[in-house]
Amino acid sequence: MKGLLFTDGGSRGNPGHAGIASLLFNENGKLLDFFGKAYPLLTNNQAEYQALISGINLAIKQGINELDCFLDSELVVNQLNGKYKIKDEKIKQIIPSIDTLKTNFDKITFCHILRENNKQADKLVNLILDAFEQK
């Protein structure tokens, strides 16, 4: 089964309060699962990677064997696709986890999309951040 994963992560302050969102759809556009979480202190890029990891785990739980991942972070997509080097030490520590998770799929891709094409994940991140900051 093929899945479409839309993820987003963001922080207010960099680093600062952060939120992540992952939405998993089947290839017909039906929402299969979603996940969101607040973190007290992450950078934007760390949040993007945490959202991706959470989403990949959703796909594994749903039995997805082909996964297309859509992120609005061009930096993260280019890092994952080997076009950019990863300089941040904390991000370098995350990559082995992603590499291990990737082995659960026959095929996995990482694609950059514009923010306006990632509205649902972006909205969930902002709802999480708003709720976190109202505490």
β-pairing verdict for 16-26 and 2-13: antiparallel
Would you say residue 79 lies in a domain? yes
Would you say residue 56 lies in a domain? no
Residue 135: per-residue pLDDT: 67
Ranges of residues in the chain with a pLDDT under 70 are 135
Would you say residue 83 lies in a domain? yes
Would you say residue 7 lies in a domain? no
Q: Which domain holds residue 106?
A: 68-117
Would you say residue 30 lies in a domain? no
Q: Mind listing the pLDDT tens digit for each residue in 49-60? A: 999 999 999 999
Q: What is the DSSP letter of 65?
A: S
Residue 73: per-residue pLDDT: 97
Query: CA-CA distance, 72 to 9, in Å (whole number)?
Result: 9
Residue 132: per-residue pLDDT: 80
Would you say residue 89 lies in a domain? yes
Whether the CB-CB separation of 12 and 128 falls below 8 Å is answered with no
Residue 109: per-residue pLDDT: 98
Would you say residue 74 lies in a domain? yes
Would you say residue 109 lies in a domain? yes
Q: Based on the structure, what is the number of domains in the chain?
A: 1
